[in-house]
Amino acid sequence: MTSGKPLRVAIQGERGAFSHQAAIGALGPEIEVLPRATFDELFDSVVDGLAERALVPIENSLHGSIHENYDRLKNRPLHIVGETQLRIRQCLIGRPGSSLGMIRRVASHPVALAQCRRFFAERPQVEAVSAYDTAGAVQDLMKGGLATQAAIASRLAAELYGGVVLLEGIEDDAENYTRFLLLAREAVKSEEPASKTSIVFVLDNRPGALYQALGVFAARKVDLCKLESRPLRGHPWEYSFYLDVLGDPCATAGEAIEELGRSCRELRILGSYPEGLSRNGV
């Protein structure tokens, strides 16, 4: 940042959510985080200029794509200016002075609880309690209003709300990563060169159309890393395709996208950005 004002970054969820942790990882600790209750509010905060960036979860390595966020990408005039990934490490968080043996009821979001089945299976005396948010469960725990002795959330949530990490990494599957996209109102030139371009396109509804579309990349040895399809409203069993294209958007990868654009019904570039974890687009 060149100016003194911190970058305002909207996230979905409470402070201490995994999105908050990912935002700090990608953009540094000096950002101003704007918690939003829903994904629609998250996108709108950048459209409306309340935040300079939104960090949007788009895919989890266990649960798959967050498809509704692909739809929101298509329906809003925003640009992808970066991406980051976060390993999801679930922590058992108690109140200060508590210990593992005291815990009988543990609150968290149902998805987090479902990721920690082994923890509960090994402790039949411990009950799982659903909450609306992982970090929110830690906040409620600290207020003491609930009849629970612990919550499952990120280490950051423990730090922010004054909880104690009783166990770390209690998720069943260590290969649990969430990929996030960083969105802005305008395309932003990052310090690192862009190496990935996300596009959305609609093909003519004829045999072999997708094969031919992928062929413009194969012919140039341009690598693709994610293909997603979503229904086309008003056209049952027809689809929009979302594709992540690797390579320099000003060289071969960009040429391939241009060629695809000439042969399909519609194509929009959602953004070009450096692949992977980065501090770009700030």
What are 101's strand-pairing partners? none
Q: Which amino acid is at 100?
A: L
- Segment interacting with a copy of itself (CB under 8 A) among 74-82, 173-181, 186-194, 196-204: 173-181
User: Going edge to edge, which strands form the sheet with 105-108?
Assistant: 127-130, 105-108, 150-153, 91-94, 164-168
Which residue is catalytic, options 18, 180, 217, 241?
A: 180
Q: Is 38 a catalytic residue?
A: no
* 226 forms part of the interface with a copy of itself (CB under 8 A): yes
The sign of the torsion formed by the CA atoms of 270, 43, 190, 179 equals negative
- Segment interacting with a copy of itself (CB under 8 A) among 95-103, 131-139, 185-193, 223-231: 223-231
**Which phi-psi region, left, alpha or beta, contains residue 117 (left: φ > 0; alpha: ψ -120 to 50)?**
alpha
* 175 forms part of the interface with a copy of itself (CB under 8 A): yes
**Which of 44, 76, 120, 215 forms a contact with a copy of itself (CB under 8 A)?**
215
* 235 forms part of the interface with a copy of itself (CB under 8 A): yes
Rounded to whole angstroms, the Cα distance separating 91 from 94 reads 10
**Which of 3, 75, 77, 211 forms a contact with a copy of itself (CB under 8 A)?**
211
* 228 forms part of the interface with a copy of itself (CB under 8 A): yes
Helix axes 67-75, 39-47, angle to 10 degrees: 30
* 214 forms part of the interface with a copy of itself (CB under 8 A): yes
* 67 forms part of the interface with a copy of itself (CB under 8 A): yes
* 89 forms part of the interface with a copy of itself (CB under 8 A): no
**Cβ contact 238:245 at 8 Å:** no
* 208 forms part of the interface with a copy of itself (CB under 8 A): yes
Range 61-64, long-range pairs (CB < 8 A, 24+ positions): 61/175, 61/176, 61/177, 61/178, 61/179, 62/115, 62/173, 62/175, 62/176, 63/111
* 144 forms part of the interface with a copy of itself (CB under 8 A): no
**Which of 223, 251, 265, 266 forms a contact with a copy of itself (CB under 8 A)?**
223
* 234 forms part of the interface with a copy of itself (CB under 8 A): yes
CB of 149 to a copy of itself, least distance (A): 29
* 75 forms part of the interface with a copy of itself (CB under 8 A): no
Helix, strand, coil distribution of the chain in percent, nearest 5:
30, 30, 40
Q: Which amino acid is at 158?
A: A
* 210 forms part of the interface with a copy of itself (CB under 8 A): yes
In 3D space, the residue among 236, 235, 118 whose CA is nearest the CA of residue 167 turns out to be 118
**Which of 123, 177, 204, 251 forms a contact with a copy of itself (CB under 8 A)?**
177
What is residue 45's three-state secondary structure? helix
* 49 forms part of the interface with a copy of itself (CB under 8 A): no
Q: Which residues are part of the catalytic machinery?
A: 178, 180
Contacting residues toward a copy of itself, per CB under 8 A: 59-65, 67, 173, 175, 177, 179, 207-208, 210-212, 214-215, 217-218, 221, 223-231, 233-237
